[in-house]
Amino acid sequence: MTRILFFVLFIVAVALGLAWLADRPGTITLEWLGYQVETSAFVAALFVAAFVSVVILVLAVLRYVWTRPAAIAAHMHARKQKQGFDALSRGLLAIGVGDRVQAKRYAGIAGRTLPREPLTALLRAQAAQLKGDDAVARSAFEAMLDAPETELLGVRGLFLEAKRAGDENSARAMAEQAVKRNPKLPWGVNALFNIEARSGDWDRALNTLAIARQNGHVDAETSNRRRAVLLTAEAREIEEGNPDKALILATEAVRLAPSLVPAAEIAGRLGASKGEVRSASRQIVRTWNLSPHPDLAVVYAFAKPGLSPKDRLKRVEYLAGLVPDDIEGAVAVANAAVDAQEWQRARDAISSYLDGVPPARICTLMARIEGGSGDKGREREWLARALRAPKDRAWIADGYVSDRWLPVSPVTGAIDAFEWKAPVDAIGRADETLQIEEWTGPPRDPGAMLHDTGASAEGPVVVDVTPVVQEETPAEPNKARADTERETKVVDEASEVEAADVVAPKAEVANDEAAKPEAAKGGVPNEEAAQTPAEHKPDASVVMPQRPPDDPGVEPMDADETETSLERLRAAHIR
């Protein structure tokens, strides 16, 4: 609108000027080279205007002709750039879909049309990576290091190539260079921190963690937790050589992360060894309330030197009372009670976990309790049940199960990945091959534990799996010996490689074996020893399903009550 207004005003001004000249014609005389020209002012003005227009037109033509080569070159360059950027776009799309042929083709076009473009080098490197040509990709990334704008891009590419090739030293060098060039890049700081943590360089990892916190790559809570893990790892490493510094590091770790069990265990143990019993106990109690763990219970029990097993049991009972609903407290009390030979208190501590399918360590504890009470048969039963029980809690990270805490996952290299929990495969149905009925009365005399061999053919059969061999003696001594020597024995073949199924041997009537030598001598078999009164059936029994028709069974082996047999079963369970 403004331009139109100015144009109209310009036309009006010209018209008025021409009209003014027409009203005042006047005369203009020009003498030059013997010529005399006379004309009016109006005509002279028109002549001057036409002359100026012709000059301007000639100058425009000359300028157009003069600038044509440069314009043609600029046009060709623009066309070439358009072709190059189009090749870059199509090449990146080809890499995205995994088309190696098209990616290589467009990378070549981009290299010819846009040789100095940073994206051209990136496309060339990624096309080589897609093709699997590591040497070309590495050379492309190394070429990026010469230009300031592509230096970090080349560093990251070389870092990824080193990681892919498994060259930890080169990867660490590239990460250090990235942090030095620009510490605000999260990938460089995080990569350097992970490499230093995996290599056990705790001091440098702490420095890198400080850089990450300073530049906002991690929040305060995560930074404190990671710092506590690194301090704990360093304290464990120098514990034997420099216990004083290890105590300082572990105490700082507990302050930063009160729920970190290894830090509290080291700090409590080292503090108690230096006589700081009260401070060590407070640290253990604080961490126990947040994360109950068996190691904390052991350290707390032995924090005060010179205590008897019963006094240690009292300390553990106090600690377990702080978390009454956690199984770790019950297990800790049961272990302390076993050490103090308080069998009933140990049994009462874990009684609430015996229903259903108790975990393996509950079964092992019950075996220790029954063995300490003198009931070898029940000890074997619980050890056999422990072989089939769900697995206990352990330190687990990324599917890797460890018997001790580690600061870094051996699978992914992630820091603080281990958690105290039950393995996934511990969740499942119960194995009903072996069922145990709990005895709630006082400990029984093994000599009085007689099994009823006259069970019905239908349903589970309660059997005495121990054959009794009697010598060729008169009937009355055989009767006395049979009444005093028969007891419960469960024969379980435990493989040291894996827990095998519990096989129930065939039931044999001991009195038939005892009657054979009597019949050979013409004697009278002992009928009282051949029949077991029904009222002598014990409350605790081994219930075994009937044998399938195609199962030939396994002949019973000689009973083995030696300590070596018990140790073998315990070793099989531990493995």
pLDDT average, residue stretch 256-262: 95
Nearest to 285 by CA among 252, 309, 254, 312: 254
Instruction: Return d(Cα 117, Cα 88) in angstroms, integer.
Output: 10
Whether the CB-CB separation of 471 and 477 falls below 8 Å is answered with no
Q: What is the pLDDT of residue 563?
A: 54
Say which residue the tokens 């070549």 belong to: 108
DSSP at 428: S
Instruction: Return d(Cα 104, Cα 131) in angstroms, integer.
Output: 8
Q: What is the pLDDT of residue 565?
A: 53
Residue 523 has pLDDT above 50, yes or no: no
pLDDT in tens, 278-323: 999 999 999 999 999 999 999 999 999 889 999 999 999 999 999 9
| CA-angle at 124, arms to 122 and 126, nearest 5° | 65
pLDDT average, residue stretch 402-413: 92
459 or 384: whose pLDDT is higher?
384
Measure Cα distances from 249 to 240, 254, 263, 323 in Å: 14, 9, 9, 28
| Burial degree of 564 (CB within 10 A; 0-12, 13-18, 19+) | exposed
Residue 536 has pLDDT above 90, yes or no: no
| 3-state secondary structure at position 38 | strand
Q: What is the pLDDT of residue 309?
A: 93
pLDDT interval class at 441 (50, 70, 90): low
pTM over 0.75: no
Whether the CB-CB separation of 236 and 261 falls below 8 Å is answered with no
Q: What is the pLDDT of residue 46?
A: 80
Nearest to 351 by CA among 381, 331, 371, 373: 331
**Structural tokens at position 408:** 């870094």
pLDDT average, residue stretch 225-240: 95
Radius of gyration of the chain (CA): 47
pLDDT in tens, 36-82: 888 877 777 788 889 999 999 999 999 988 988 888 888 888 888 88
**Structural tokens at position 7:** 């144009």
pLDDT interval class at 192 (50, 70, 90): very high
Nearest to 438 by CA among 370, 540, 346, 355: 540
22 or 121: whose pLDDT is higher?
121
